[in-house]
Amino acid sequence: MGSKSFSLKKKPFTLICIILCLTLALLLHTTTYNLGTDEEPPLTSISLLYTTNEPPRWYDKLQNVINNRSDNKLKIGLVNLHLDQVPVNGLADVTTINFKVVDGDKKWEDFFPEWVDEDGKYGPMKCPEIPMPQSYEKVDVVVARVPDGVRDVFRLQVNLVVANVLVNSGLEEVYAVFIGRSKPMWEIFWCDDIKWEETDYKIYKPDLKRLQQKVNMPVGSCMIPSSSMQPGN
């Protein structure tokens, strides 16, 4: 009878111990899982960190330009990009090309109207202003991101800014790098000027004499006689 009474008293105590052990194990597992999740960033974050520690691929393609410079550094101007979007890790001197963005109320039709007063019957024609940089620095490369769209005035402005910076660089050998999916306007940067091309960038080495003619021409058909072509068609 004594031993039986002892076993009956022991079972509730054993059951309580088992429940406590299971609860503790569950808490420990949950805590370990959460710690593992916090310590290991997602794969995309790891990939991004790795790529930002490496110079851009287009930079490697322009090593020949670096070798021709006495200070062994490229001078890069950025158009429609921020400094943190071009991680060259001190290998180049990078500056942002500042310019006033064209007024949002300006439309493509303001520069390329459907009807043009060729005879000047209603007085001299005038195109709306597309602001350009106030000053130009000597750069070897202009890196730009072209906005999406076809008949987009800001896209036209970015292309013209890049062209003007290259022409006013004062160097005989300059390059333009366009990164992203959108291509530059072929009326300004010809396909024949492409030197390297991959999915996320294109490197152009434009003919500066031809580019000079482009930037000297009126912006659109809003001035007659003007450019003989309408970009974006």
Cα–Cα distance, 29 to 133 (Å, whole number): 60
Cα–Cα distance, 210 to 189 (Å, whole number): 10
The answer to whether 162 and 132 are in contact (CB under 8 A) is no
Q: CA 203 → CA 93, 123, 187, 200, distances in Å?
A: 19, 43, 16, 11
Q: Note the pLDDT of residue 90.
A: 83
pTM: 0.70
Radius of gyration of the chain (CA): 31
Cα–Cα distance, 138 to 135 (Å, whole number): 10
| pLDDT reading at 230 higher than 50 | no
Cα–Cα distance, 90 to 93 (Å, whole number): 7
- Higher-confidence position of 154 and 129: 154
Q: Note the pLDDT of residue 38.
A: 40
Mean pLDDT of 135-164: 93
Mean pLDDT of 71-96: 88
Retrieve residue 130's tokens. Answer: 């597309």
Give the DSSP H/E element, type plus range, for residue 61: helix 57-61
- Bridge partners, 196 (sequence order): 203
Q: What's the one-letter identity of residue 129?
A: E
Mean pLDDT computed over every residue of the chain: 75
